[in-house]
DNA sequence: GGAATGACAGATATTGAAATCTGTCAGCTG
DNA sequence: CAGCTGACAGATTTCAATATCTGTCATTCC
């Protein structure tokens, strides 16, 4: 895949980095590899991304943002708050599970990247809990939920379902019975939201 | 029964193994080290524990059993089911947090051991959720909780609070605000149990 | 002048030979 | 005889030499 002779944009570097990570894995993917894939010297890559860590964080952010934007639609969906909380949580679970099951190696690669990108992951989690908070607040305003602080409740929801979206539990997502466990968890949490 | 100071019992081997693990860490603690600490040849250790993995599992089980027996008292405590669920969950969190904070290296050592001892950990989790199931069932019988299946609810409770007892989250237990997060989580879950 | 290069120093990773460990077992010892 | 030993083979780990990588920057190129 020879690179087009267009300008070397940050975007193109990120795409090349994803490809290199996909091919070599997180341990062996180097900045030199990325430069080689683009047909430039590695010094050039450093003009755009000051360090390898910054480059990896940018790739990680891209990956996480894809999930976040997928879930955004459940926030504004035209359904009751209970259904939207359920859909949102199920959507997150399904998105993660699909990625982990479909290409386990790539998922493992990004899981490793995420471990080294604490700030990016933190912002991602803040965005997700922010989405959840909106739905919970709508439920409180509609009188369906009775929690006192939507943001606190949303964070609890997110943490309680960690087992179904935290990459470190990916192994469990294949086991039979997870579906039922997920349903039971969401049922219990929704009962809690209603009070 | 022969005097413990002379006979080489499984018990003495386990104690020596704990000591070696404490001193060397999980990566460098060898069966040869254990034998040396006991003043015997390593072949002797293998008479009692067929493999290194079995020896480590036994040590891990011992460690986990200590936590389980600490929590058992909350099951039979003379208080309402709500308070007992709260106490039990708080007791688990506190026990783990105290261990992790008090001797981080030792905690990390046992966390590594636990990763390699899937069956032992599974049995431990079954025991803990069993304890929780008893309390939940008592609550249902007393009409305080309205869940349909105490065992399913107990497992959900355990998983939902994973962030506050799973060793992989130990780093978070030191951060300010965890206490509040834990309280919010338990409040939400208890609301769910009541229905 | 802005973009890219490539040589360079220090840090990190790889490699293969040597050392150590795991698990077995024939034989010793009390 | 029951418990223990220590030598052994194959697997794993250590260690030091070697190679590669990261990040910088003076220089080149358009």
> What is the per-residue pLDDT across B68-82, written as a single tens digit (0 to 9) for each?
999 999 999 989 999
Q: What is the 3-state secondary structure (H, E, C) of B99-118?
A: HHHHCHHHHHHHHHHHHHCH
Average pLDDT on A123-134 reads 98
Counting residues of chain A whose pLDDT is more than 70, the rounded percentage is 97
Which H or E run contains B37? helix B31-38
**Do A70 and A22 belong to one domain?**
no
B116 touches strand C (CB under 7 A): no
Instruction: Give the number of other CB atoms < 10 A from CB of residue B158.
Output: 20
**Do B103 and B166 belong to one domain?**
yes
Mean pLDDT for all residues in chain A: 94
**Do B83 and B9 belong to one domain?**
no
Q: How far is CA B12 from the centre of its chain?
A: 22
Mean pLDDT for all residues in chain B: 94
Residues A60-102: tens digit of each pLDDT = 999 999 999 999 999 999 899 999 999 999 999 999 999 999 9
Residue nearest to nucleotide C25 (CA to C1'): B43
Model pLDDT, residue A6 = 61
pLDDT for A127 beyond 80:
yes
Residue A3 lies inside a defined structural domain of this protein: no
Distances (CA, A) of B27 to A68, A112, B48, B53, B61: 39, 21, 22, 13, 19
Question: What does the radius of gyration of chain A's CA atoms come to, in whole angstroms?
Answer: 20
Cβ pair B184:A157 closer than 8 A: no
CA–C1' span, B49 to C28, in Å? 22
Which of B159, B185, B195 is facing A185, going by the closest CB pair?
B159
**Do A26 and A89 belong to one domain?**
no
Q: CA–CA separation, B79 vs B182, rounded Å?
A: 21
pLDDT for B173 beyond 60:
yes
**Do B37 and B61 belong to one domain?**
no
Question: What does the radius of gyration of chain B's CA atoms come to, in whole angstroms?
Answer: 20
Residue nearest to nucleotide D7 (CA to C1'): B43
pLDDT for B5 beyond 90:
no
pLDDT for A23 beyond 50:
yes
pLDDT for A2 beyond 60:
no
Model pLDDT, residue B6 = 58
Q: CA–CA separation, B150 vs B139, rounded Å?
A: 9
Model pLDDT, residue A148 = 95
Q: Name the DSSP class of B169.
A: G
Residue A33 lies inside a defined structural domain of this protein: yes
Could you tell me which residue, B18 or A8, shows the higher pLDDT?
B18
Q: To the nearest whole angstrom, how far is the Cα of A30 from the nearest Cα of chain B?
A: 28
Q: Name the DSSP class of B193.
A: H
Give residue A16's region: left, alpha or beta (phi > 0; psi -120 to 50): alpha
Residue at a domain's end among B28, B50, B72:
B50
Model pLDDT, residue A195 = 85
Model pLDDT, residue A43 = 95
A46 touches strand D (CB under 7 A): yes
Q: CA–CA separation, B10 vs B186, rounded Å?
A: 40
pLDDT for A5 beyond 70:
no
Q: How many structural domains compose chain A? A: 2
**Do A33 and A123 belong to one domain?**
no
The residue in chain A having the minimum alpha-carbon distance to the alpha carbon of residue B166 is A163
**Do B119 and B139 belong to one domain?**
yes
**Do B69 and B163 belong to one domain?**
yes
CB distance B125 to B155 below 8 Å = no
Residue A131 lies inside a defined structural domain of this protein: yes
Which of A11, A10, A53 has the alpha carbon at shortest distance from A31?
A: A53
- Judging contacts by C-beta atoms under 8 Å, the chain A residues touching residue B194 are 191
**Do B118 and B144 belong to one domain?**
yes
**Do B38 and B97 belong to one domain?**
no
Q: CA–CA separation, A161 vs A186, rounded Å?
A: 8
Query: What DSSP letter does each residue of A129-159 carry, written as one string?
Result: HHHHHHHHHHHHHTTS---S-HHHHHHHHHH
Counting residues of chain B whose pLDDT is more than 90, the rounded percentage is 94
- Judging contacts by C-beta atoms under 8 Å, the chain A residues touching residue B147 are 188
Residues A26-51: tens digit of each pLDDT = 999 999 999 999 999 999 999 999 99
Residue A87 lies inside a defined structural domain of this protein: yes
Q: Name the DSSP class of B176.
A: T
**Do B35 and B68 belong to one domain?**
no
Candidates A82, A144, A149, A159: best to mutate against B (most CBs of B within 10 A) is A159
pLDDT for A4 beyond 50:
no
B51 touches strand C (CB under 7 A): yes
Q: How far is CA B144 from the centre of its chain?
A: 28
Q: CA–CA separation, B151 vs B132, rounded Å?
A: 8
Which of B149, B184, B188 is facing A189, going by the closest CB pair?
B188
| Residue labelled with tokens 């991602």 | A124
CA–C1' span, B5 to C24, in Å? 28
Residues B110-169: tens digit of each pLDDT = 999 999 999 999 999 999 999 999 999 999 999 999 999 999 999 999 999 999 999 999
Which CATH number fits the domain that encloses residue A110?
1.10.357.10
**Do A28 and A86 belong to one domain?**
no
Which nucleotides in chain C have some atom under 7 angstroms from a protein Cβ? 3-7, 13-14, 20-26
Instruction: Give the number of other CB atoms < 10 A from CB of residue B56.
Output: 22
Which CATH number fits the domain that encloses residue A28?
1.10.10.60
Q: To the nearest whole angstrom, how far is the Cα of A56 from the nearest Cα of chain B?
A: 23
CB distance B79 to B87 below 8 Å = yes
**Structural domain that includes position A98:** 59-194
Residue A96 lies inside a defined structural domain of this protein: yes
Model pLDDT, residue B195 = 85
Model pLDDT, residue A8 = 79
Q: CA–CA separation, B167 vs B100, rounded Å?
A: 8
Residue A54 lies inside a defined structural domain of this protein: no
């Amino acid at each position: 895949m020879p690179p087009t002779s267009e300008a070397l944009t940050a975007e193109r570097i990120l795409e090349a980095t994803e490809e290199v990570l996909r091919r070599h894995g997180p341990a062996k993917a180097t900045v030199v590899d990325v430069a080689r894939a683009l047909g430039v010297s590695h010094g050039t890559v450093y003009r755009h991304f000051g360090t390898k860590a910054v480059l990896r964080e940018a790739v990680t952010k891209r990956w996480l943002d894809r999930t976040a934007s997928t879930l955004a639609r459940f926030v504004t969906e035209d359904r009751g708050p209970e259904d939207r909380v359920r859909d949102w949580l199920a959507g997150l679970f399904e998105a993660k599970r699909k990625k982990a099951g479909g290409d386990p190696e790539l998922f493992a690669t990004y899981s490793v990247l995420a471990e080294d990108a604490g700030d990016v992951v933190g912002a991602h989690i803040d965005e997700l809990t922010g989405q959840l908070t909106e739905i919970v607040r709508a439920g409180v305003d509609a009188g369906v939920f009775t929690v006192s602080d939507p943001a606190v409740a949303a964070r609890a929801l997110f943490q309680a379902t960690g087992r179904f979206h935290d990459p470190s539990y990916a192994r469990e997502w294949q086991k039979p019975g997870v579906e039922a466990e997920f349903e039971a968890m969401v049922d219990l949490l929704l009962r809690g939201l209603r009070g």
